[in-house]
Structure 1
Amino acid sequence: MSGFLARITHRFVPYAAAADVMRPNQKFRSFVWRASGMHQVYVSAIAISVALANFVPIDLQRRVVDIAITDRDVRALLVLGGLYLAAILVYSGLKYALIIYQGWVGESVVKAARDQLALVATERSALEHARIGQTASIIGSEIDDVGVFVGTSISGCVVDVTMMVSVALYMIYMQPIIALVSGISLLPQVLLALYMQRPLNTLVERQVALVRKLGNQAVNSFGSHSTKRRTTFRTIRTIFSNRIELYLLKFGLKTLLNIASAVGSLLVLIIGGYLVIRGQTTIGAVVAFISGFQRLSDPLGDLLEFYRNYSQTKVQFRMIVQWVDGTVPAGHSTNARA
């Protein structure tokens, strides 16, 4: 199996990105377009197809309950079940193609950026030997994060927006009251994410600066006198504390978002059940709405994750560009606490 995959892998070659893909004072959005260009359009087209394919099962669920099961029609049940299976297979195939395309775009961007960063590092190596550790961090994990965002996040955002719009229109068409309740119940998630993003950005910037600082200290302190080693260990402890603070904030926000989503599902179930009791809708419609709400909540969560990643990747990209320009000393940040 590994040999088969290796033969396929060798057929993939990175596309020819611009030699100077990172430019002085460049905005992150400009970098994304310059680095990936029309590939963002192509991958977004596939992403829209994925979102539409994922929408199809919602109405099929309603039809299975309201038509096949309610009427005890075995033939309709089998036909709808076959259509449901076909929809799953089409969706899965498109999703796999999308993921591979996203990965190829992202890795091509990383390669082009690393080529440029490696040249910058080579030119500075003789003068900045003390900053080798920071250079390794930039060319390694930092540019990886930027490349992954360029490859996956834009088209992922397209999937989520398409999915949310199609599901929302379907829900409004089927039952406007439940659609309104669904929309209102999602609002707290948006407000929470927007409110918490700025402190998350501060922690990410501090983390990047501290890891760069540690890289420089590790290269230059071990084998030296104990004072420098103690400084290095102190930086490691600070990184640990900053990371824990990041976890508390990031996953605390995620927990609150999950609670808000669960409460929204409960509201849809209660109001939908009330409408069924009053004879104003069907059980199949409620089932479809619960599934539809989840297909609204999940893409919304992904969109909020996109916003968080976009904000944090902008911070990382700005720090990398500053390093390329030589405008910020190695391992230095006004937010880094020693």
Structure 2
Amino acid sequence: MPQTLYGFVVSISGPHQIAIAVLSVLLFVVGTAPLEIQRRIVNSATEHGSYSAIAILISYYLLLALAEGLIKLALNIYRNWVGEVAIRWLRLSIFDATEKSTPQAASASSEGIQLSIVVAEAEPVGGFVGQAISEPLLQIGILVAVIGYMLYLQPLMGLVVAVVFFPQVGFVPLMQSAINRRVQSKIVVMRSVSAGIVDAGSARDHDGVQYGRMQELFSLDMGIYKIKFTMNFLMNLMMQLGYAGIFALGGYYVITGKTQIGTVVAFVSGLSKINDPWGDLVNWYRDLRVTQVKYGLIRDSAQIDVTRTFDERS
């Protein structure tokens, strides 16, 4: 197998990744345009513009919303298909590798590892293939487009929004590294559980070793939950501080006549539009780091021949 996760992604789905990337770029371009239309609708309404102009803007807004939804539908189906084919590829490759190995090489430990890979570990690794490139491209594209639009409308208010994310760039990687260490330990323990079941011929625990492993899994899972939800709490807190900053500065600008109410509405809508892609980007980063750990363990445990291409197994 390739040494890196992305080497594996490219080796089995390179052409498909290009097509998915094109859809991702198209999606974030279409998804940013409604912010400007919202601003114009609000300004036309508050400045007593003609209703016919507002109706035309609403029609454009609905068409963009429809286009965005259809592109997102196609993107989600396509990249999940890629992920599912990769999962099947990994599982079948374990069977191929086992058939090529000598019977003497089999042991309870190796059988337990194969069982763990086929039943549990292949799915998150293969499933990540579909979003390995498209997800960061899409979410970073949305963030850059929306924040750039905000800076164009009102630079100082745009900086308030940007500042919301600076602390998160620091604490998210640190907390995710702590999660990764626990995930790696969890996989090792799960493999030991599988090997113990294979060795005993069933789920028996005469000596209490399996019970100790279950307790260790419980502790590892709880540690992951605590770090994960603490990270979510801090991210949500920073987002609310961003809303407060927009209301404070935007309200002052509207009262003093330095900006229009539509600009403030666009900023509030824009921050909401940033919240989801930022959260999705953080989730993708979590999945990336965890999947890198899982892929490394699979690569080190199974000698899989990657000469069979993605399309041959699709």
TM-score (norm 1): 0.84
- Residue 206 of structure 2 is matched in structure 1 by 227
1:139-174 deviation digits (Å, cap 9, x = unpaired): 222111111111024201111111111112211111
- Residue 8 of structure 1 is matched in structure 2 by none
- Residue 321 of structure 1 is matched in structure 2 by 299
2: distance between equivalents of 1:50 and 1:178?
Answer: 26
Superposition deviation, residue 318 in structure 1:
0.4
- Residue 254 of structure 2 is matched in structure 1 by 276
Contact 1:110/1:144 (8 A) holds in 2: yes
Superposition deviation, residue 103 in structure 1:
1.0
Q: CA RMSD in A?
A: 1.9
- Residue 283 of structure 2 is matched in structure 1 by 305
* Change in CA separation of 1:262 and 1:153 when aligned onto 2, cut-off 3 Å: farther
- Residue 228 of structure 2 is matched in structure 1 by 250
- Residue 210 of structure 1 is matched in structure 2 by 189
1:42 aligns with 2:19: yes
Q: Which amino acid aligns with 2:55?
A: L
2: distance between equivalents of 1:137 and 1:38?
Answer: 30
- Residue 286 of structure 1 is matched in structure 2 by 264
2: distance between equivalents of 1:237 and 1:124?
Answer: 35
Gaps of 5+ in 1: 1-21, 327-338
Q: Which amino acid aligns with 1:41?
A: I
2: distance between equivalents of 1:176 and 1:225?
Answer: 65
- Residue 55 of structure 1 is matched in structure 2 by 32
2: distance between equivalents of 1:195 and 1:225?
Answer: 39
- Residue 150 of structure 1 is matched in structure 2 by 129
* Change in CA separation of 1:225 and 1:244 when aligned onto 2, cut-off 3 Å: closer
* Change in CA separation of 1:100 and 1:224 when aligned onto 2, cut-off 3 Å: closer
2: distance between equivalents of 1:322 and 1:226?
Answer: 28
Contact 1:190/1:304 (8 A) holds in 2: no
Q: Which amino acid aligns with 1:102?
A: R
- Counterparts of 1:78-93 in structure 2 under 5 Å? 78-93=55-70
User: Between Structure 1 and Structure 2, how many residues are aligned?
Assistant: 302
Contact 1:186/1:297 (8 A) holds in 2: no
2: distance between equivalents of 1:175 and 1:89?
Answer: 29
2: distance between equivalents of 1:288 and 1:130?
Answer: 61
Superposition deviation, residue 325 in structure 1:
4.4
2: distance between equivalents of 1:240 and 1:119?
Answer: 34
Contact 1:69/1:77 (8 A) holds in 2: no
1:95-146 deviation digits (Å, cap 9, x = unpaired): 0000011011112222222222212233366533413333121122211111
Superposition deviation, residue 89 in structure 1:
0.8
Contact 2:197/2:204 (8 A) holds in 1: no
Q: Which amino acid aligns with 2:85?
A: S
Identity of aligned residues (%): 30
2: distance between equivalents of 1:153 and 1:92?
Answer: 21
2: distance between equivalents of 1:225 and 1:241?
Answer: 22
TM-score (norm 2): 0.90
Gaps of 5+ in 2: 305-314
1:42-101 deviation digits (Å, cap 9, x = unpaired): 101001111112112111111110013431532222222221111111111000000011
2: distance between equivalents of 1:200 and 1:178?
Answer: 34
Q: Which amino acid aligns with 2:229?
A: F
1: distance between equivalents of 2:106 and 2:136?
Answer: 40
Choose the corresponding residue for 2:274, options 296, 309, 320. Answer: 296
* Change in CA separation of 1:224 and 1:267 when aligned onto 2, cut-off 3 Å: closer
Q: Which amino acid aligns with 1:272?
A: G
